[in-house]
Amino acid sequence: MYKPNFNRKFLVIPIPEADEFILSFLNRIKMANAYPSLNSVIKTIFEKKINIINIVKGNFDKSVFYKFTDLVEDDINKLCLTDQNNFYIVSCLLICPYCIKQQNYVSLNGYRKNVICPTHSIPYISRCPHCNKLLDWDAEKIEICKFCKTYVYSNISDYIIEYGEKISHSDIFVIYNDFLNLKGLSPSRSEQYSLNNLHKGLKRSIDFLIQPDPFVIKEFRELFITTDIRFPNYKTVRYEFFLLVFRIVGLINSISLVGVKIRESLSNIVGFELVDNITNNYDKELYKFLNYYNGSYGQREVDLNIKKILNTTDDVSDLVINKYFEKYDKDNNIKLEDFIHFCKSLSKNLSFEDVKDEFIFLHNFPPSKQLELLDKIFYGPTFLYNFNYKEVLMGVKIKKKDLNLVEKNY
């Protein structure tokens, strides 16, 4: 692969591959001529120190580079990262661990934004999969971690990501970057870019794309709970609720085939009409909504599928629906504010006195008993505690003392 070249400094100049990254090319010059570091090669060519990121971007004198490499300007530009929109402009290594095993150079592909390796279905890595330290151009071999001396491609088959053909890389990354906020979940930057974390996050995005239902339901439930605690005003709940609908509809508009599935999932909870309205007139609706917000928090009729939100099809949710909501339709849809009112009427703030008491969880009773108790409790003197917990009904508990009271009354 090498051809002789009679310039002053380098005895051997490799021929660049069609998709090679400029730092990879310089790295191969370094190896072939036994230079100690990438920077020493750069310094030799330009006779001065140049910031490595300028090399990456192609901000350097091409005629000087030509003298050393015989590469004309066009060929040099092909090695550089000039397209800021589609590439990460970085100087670190970004490699597919399996590709680097098969080829002796670093391809530009790893620097493309929002892709995983199309051949091996694994995220591109900048860190060692084993010890999570940064990979280094100046390691003896870039595929062997300088720190733990392990090959980057050994024992990593668990990180291969599987997904159906309907799902595209850009769909996965829309969810990963903008929706699940998976980056924000990592404790530190280095952890954020670990192969383990990348794999986990992308896997969750794919799970969501394949089955959006549980996720969308979870979002709605948490919305009720958090806003109900922070703002005991159902109008605010409604406002946040609309924001979520807009967020999901915006998401549907930006992704391809699987958007239909997400749309279906959302429609199951808030009704087709609302989703259709917002989808078809997104900008107009959003403008209208934000203007409403200033005055009246977006007053708009919304029916919620309470059965979905309670996330259960068992008798308990039937009981809740049948007994306590008068205005529900055949699809078990209930007005948002009625539901909030229902939650409020069942819940009570905790006091220190309560903490000392013994409680029992409603969920600990057999289902038939739960129904019976819930019915009695609603009309009796007993309060349900912790109704605001994540698992709406799972978290409900009853004072044992009150329990006797209930039992006696009936």
- Tell me the closest approach of the beta carbon of residue 119 to Zn ion, in angstroms: 4
- Tell me the closest approach of the beta carbon of residue 368 to Zn ion, in angstroms: 56
Choosing from 46, 66, 98, 151, the residue that interacts with Zn ion (CB under 5 A) is: 98
- Residue numbers 74-93 binding Zn ion by CB under 5 A: none
- Tell me the closest approach of the beta carbon of residue 186 to Zn ion, in angstroms: 19
- Tell me the closest approach of the beta carbon of residue 377 to Zn ion, in angstroms: 58
- Residue numbers 112-171 binding Zn ion by CB under 5 A: 117, 119-120, 128, 130-131, 145, 147-148
What does the DSSP 8-state code read for residue 87? B
- Tell me the closest approach of the beta carbon of residue 168 to Zn ion, in angstroms: 18
Distance CA 155, CA 132 (A): 14
The nearer residue to Zn ion, 96 or 302, going by C-beta atoms, is: 96
Residues 234/240/244/247 CA torsion (nearest 10 deg): 150
Angle between helices 367-379 and 400-409 (to 10 degrees): 80
The nearer residue to Zn ion, 65 or 173, going by C-beta atoms, is: 173
Distance CA 236, CA 238 (A): 5
Choosing from 93, 96, 182, 198, the residue that interacts with Zn ion (CB under 5 A) is: 96
The nearer residue to Zn ion, 143 or 228, going by C-beta atoms, is: 143
Stretch that binds Zn ion, among 30-38, 94-102, 238-246, 281-289 (CB under 5 A): 94-102
The nearer residue to Zn ion, 99 or 371, going by C-beta atoms, is: 99
The nearer residue to Zn ion, 130 or 335, going by C-beta atoms, is: 130
Binding-site size for Zn ion (CB under 5 A) equals 12
DSSP 3-state assignment of 402?
helix
The nearer residue to Zn ion, 149 or 323, going by C-beta atoms, is: 149
DSSP 3-state assignment of 280?
helix
- Tell me the closest approach of the beta carbon of residue 156 to Zn ion, in angstroms: 11
- Tell me the closest approach of the beta carbon of residue 400 to Zn ion, in angstroms: 55
Q: How many residues does the chain have?
A: 410
What contacts 24+ positions apart, CB below 8 Å, involve 32-39?
32/2, 33/9, 36/138, 37/137, 37/138, 38/137, 38/138
Q: Which residues sit opposite 364 in a β-bridge?
A: none
- Tell me the closest approach of the beta carbon of residue 46 to Zn ion, in angstroms: 32
What does the DSSP 8-state code read for residue 120? T
Q: Tabulate helix, strand, coil % of the chain (nearest 5).
A: 55, 5, 40
Kind and range of the H or E run holding 67: helix 62-69
The nearer residue to Zn ion, 120 or 307, going by C-beta atoms, is: 120
Distance CA 267, CA 381 (A): 38
- Listed in order, strand segments (DSSP E) in 110-226 are none
Choosing from 29, 42, 56, 99, the residue that interacts with Zn ion (CB under 5 A) is: 99
The answer to whether 401 touches 357, Cβ cutoff 8 Å, is yes
- Tell me the closest approach of the beta carbon of residue 349 to Zn ion, in angstroms: 51
The answer to whether 34 touches 48, Cβ cutoff 8 Å, is no
Distance CA 209, CA 263 (A): 11
Stretch that binds Zn ion, among 19-27, 109-117, 225-233, 378-386 (CB under 5 A): 109-117
The nearer residue to Zn ion, 47 or 140, going by C-beta atoms, is: 140
The nearer residue to Zn ion, 120 or 397, going by C-beta atoms, is: 120
Give the footprint of Zn ion on this chain (CB under 5 A).
96, 98-99, 117, 119-120, 128, 130-131, 145, 147-148
